[in-house]
Amino acid sequence: MDARQLRDVRMTENKSEKLSFSAAWAMAVGGMIGGGIFSVLGVVIAEAGRLAWLSFVFGGTIALATGWSYSRLTVSGGRAGGIYQFLRQRGRNGAAAAIAWVLILGYVLTVSVYAHTFGAYISHAFGWSAIIGHGLGIAAILTITGVNLLGVGESSLTEIILVGGKLLVLGALAIAGLMHWSPPALSPSGEHVGLTGAVIGAALVFMAYEGFQLLVYDYEVMENPQRTLPTAMMSAIVAVILIYISVALGAAMLVGADRIVADKEVALAAAGSAAFGEIGLVVVTIAAAFSTGSAILATIFGTARLAHRVAAERDLPGFFGRTNSEGVPVGATLLIATAACLLVWVGSLGELVEGASLVFLLTFAGVNLLAWRGAVVHPVVGLVGSLGALSAAILLGWRMLSTAPLELAMIGAVLSVAAAFGFWRRRT
């Protein structure tokens, strides 16, 4: 996650500040790219092979349907908020309480993915071991947590500049690779992948599309929000789909699918080195570090404030609502950072990506179902979004039974606790 989640918490201090279309678009693009493509490219090519590009199309289709559902729910409600707010507005406080727990789990998993990727790229550039990479990822979380506790965020201008830099780097890689078009380079050795592999690949890396939804938290501070929100969100998703497809094809052309799979934790570093030598390696590493670092900052910042808001409604324990002298929710920040550090240390990149993708597929299925039942979107959009996300989640969950059973059990435990808490809140 990279778009500035819950910016309304900060912007209420300055009501005159309005979010333009360009700033909103940059936030949505930055939210998705964040650490996304730097983290998931090797994972999706390992699963889908030459059809990795199609995995991004499938995932992007679900994201488009979900983006439209999010924007229509927000515009029809006339106020900022995510699925937690949507449910509370409809009097479904128990469901809102349950989904809050699930959302926080998803964001903790994304922080761990970004930190894992941060450490992997830095350690790869210096030739250090994977253990050092894990340590660097944890150090990044701890350092950025300190920054969060000081109440430091990012401005819209900073986001536009950072997103522009990422797009330049990714665009250069894609163009350099596509100029050496060679279809055999797309297939790993011994590949036997069909359409099913592409669908599984889409489910595996769906977390690369989460982030666009955070624009709904900025609805009340946008210029002409009824128009800006849907156009910025939908155009950003389309742009990111095209970027992901181009990078997936271009990177494989530069080094071959086998190299991407072998170096899946630092796939774009390998592509950058092949395209532009040592300079390419350095530039991609810097881009990955800044991208994942800003994503960690934004995710911890926003998730802590989401937890604070939920705690204020008594849907989370009171510890999450404790703040320091800067007004920062210190309890939530420390718990989120601690959980993410533990996951970085014990989890592999593939397991963390799968877990985050599963959580957001389930969440987005709920958003599409809510929009569908509320008749704020066309039935076809609701059907594609809800059934697509739910089917992908079931497929991914089935796969995780054999590839990541402990992580699946952890997610299942959190979902069970969330459901029990939601049932209890509905009765109180």
| Distance of alpha carbon 301 from alpha carbon 64, whole angstroms | 26
Identify which has the larger pLDDT, 237 or 303. Answer: 237
Burial of 403 by CB count in 10 Å (0-12 exposed, 13-18 middle, 19+ buried)? middle
152 pLDDT band, cuts 50/70/90, is low
In the structure, what pLDDT confidence band is assigned to residue 189 with cuts at 50, 70 and 90? confident
Q: What average pLDDT does range 84-90 have in this prediction?
A: 85
CA–CA distance, 123 with 266 (Å, rounded to integer): 10
- Amino acid at residue number 266: V
Q: What is the per-residue pLDDT across 246-280, written as a single tens digit (0 to 9) for each?
A: 999 999 999 999 999 988 889 999 999 988 999 99
Has residue 124 got a pLDDT over 80? yes
Average pLDDT on 274-303 reads: 87
Are 327 and 91 in contact by the 8 Å Cβ rule? The answer is no
Position 28 scores a pLDDT of: 86
Q: What is the pLDDT of residue 161?
A: 80
Q: Give residue 290's pLDDT.
A: 87
Out of 127-141, 310-324, 339-353, 412-426, the most confident range is 127-141
Cα–Cα distance list, 418 to 97, 98, 404, 413 (Å): 7, 4, 21, 8
Question: Is pLDDT larger for residue 140 or for residue 414?
Answer: 140
Give pLDDT tens digits for 4-16. Answer: 444 444 444 344 4
Residue 218 has pLDDT above 50, yes or no: yes
121-132 burial, b if ≥16 CB within 10 A, otherwise e? bbbbbeeeeeee
Instruction: Write down the pLDDT at residue 140.
Output: 93
Q: Residue 7: its pLDDT value, please? A: 45
Report the predicted TM-score, pTM, of the whole model to 2 decimal places.
0.87
Average pLDDT (148-165) is 73
H-helix segments, 34-92:
36-48, 52-77, 83-89
> Is 156's pLDDT higher than 70?
no
The helices-and-strands tally (H runs, E runs) of the chain is 16, 0
Architecture of domain 7-303+331-426: Up-down Bundle (1.20)
Q: Exposed (0-12), middle (13-18) or buried (19+): which is 379, by Cβ within 10 Å?
A: exposed
E strand or H helix that includes residue 403:
helix 379-403
DSSP label of 215: G
Q: In the chain, pLDDT over 70 holds for what percent of residues?
A: 93
How distant, in Å, are the alpha carbons of 5, 84, 262, 393 from that of 99?
Answer: 17, 7, 37, 16
3-class state of residue 316 by DSSP = coil
Does residue 81 carry a pLDDT above 80?
Answer: no
Residue 12, pLDDT score: 40
Q: How confident is the model at residue 56 (pLDDT cuts 50, 70, 90)?
A: very high
Least confident range of 8-12, 54-58, 61-65, 266-270: 8-12
Split at pLDDT 50, 70, 90, the class of 155 is low
Residue 163 reports pLDDT greater than 90: no
CA distances in angstroms from 312 to 10, 279, 304, 308, 356, listed in the order given: 17, 49, 12, 6, 26
Query: Does position 3 have pLDDT exceeding 50, yes or no?
Result: no
pLDDT band at 84 (very low <50, low <70, confident <90, very high): confident
| Alpha carbon distances (Å) from 218 to 23, 25, 226, 380 | 11, 12, 12, 27
Q: Please give the Cα distance from 385 to 240 (Å, whole number).
A: 18
pLDDT of res. 9: 40
Give residue 4's pLDDT.
41
CA nearest 209: which of 32, 418, 341, 350? 32
How large is the average pLDDT for residues 124-144? 93
Q: How far apart are CA 129 and CA 68, in angstroms?
A: 43
Mean pLDDT of the chain: 86
Where are the domains positioned within the chain? 7-303+331-426
